[in-house]
Copies of this chain bind each other. A is one copy, B any other.
């Protein structure tokens, strides 16, 4: 399993995010993945290597065609991490709400 550093580094570039979005629709040959990008093939292949290091994609060769597919584990790890932070954040807002309600109740009692 790739670590979170390389998983998130994989997402920090528009070409790499476009490759992930394309592969989410199904496996594709490297040439199909490269086609939408105005980029020399060696530069494009570097992006694929970053995605492979981040655990986002895997590839296999049949004859002269290399085909890539998405590995959903990387997305799951990224979403899990973000979800954990959101839980902490929302728990904090709930505590803040309770605190403000308590202040409000005290205020109303004072007014009565």
Contact = CB atoms under 8 A, between A and B. Distances in A.
Interface string A4-16: 1110110111100
B13 A12 contact: no
Interface stretch (A35-43, A57-65, A71-79, A104-112): A71-79
Contacts of A88: 21, 24-25
Q: Determine the main DSSP class of A at the interface with B.
A: helix
Given A21-B85, A24-B92, A88-B24, A5 B13 contact: yes
Interface in A10-61: 11-14, 17, 20-21, 24-26
B86 A70 contact: no
A16 B11 CA distance: 16
